[in-house]
Amino acid sequence: MKELAYADIKVGDSASFSKTVTESDIVTYAGLTGDFNPVHINAEYAKESMFKERIAHGMLVSGFISAVLGTQLPGPNAIYLGQELKFTAPVKIGDTVTAEATVIEKRDDKRIIKLKTTVTNQDGVIVVDGSAVIKKVGL
């Protein structure tokens, strides 16, 4: 992938990443993080929850934002300084989600970029809403 130079990044630029969430994603995430909350991994428990079925970890889904920021916009040599997140709807096994980041501010003296970040499901429902602050080093 070609690195996007800081000078080429403009307010309004956006990029996205899509993924279908699988059972394997959820189980792997639970194993990596130690978050074995039964609403994520136990179908019988989840049936009795407010969601009526298993759901993906919110942080798993919000991790797709990191994929956009680290590989596309602003891309390589982007250092995460902060992220605000609101989890607004559940993501279920088989949902296809799209993480999108849009540049809303640039601070040239510090090479800091603020981006609006959202994740939507296949029905266009926002499941994660927030913003990120990134420092672009390198180019």
Distance CA 43, CA 80 (A): 35
pLDDT at 10 over 90: yes
CATH 3.30.420.40 describes domain 11-21+56-136: no
How confident is the model over 84-111, as pLDDT tens digits? 999 999 999 999 999 999 999 999 999 9
Does the predicted TM-score (pTM) go above 0.85?
yes
The domain spans of the chain are: 11-21+56-136
Q: Using 50, 70 and 90 to split pLDDT, how confident is the model at 114?
A: very high
Quote the pLDDT of residue 1: 59
Question: Taking the C-alpha atoms of 102, 108, 109 and 113 in order, what is their torsion angle to the nearest 10 degrees?
Answer: 10
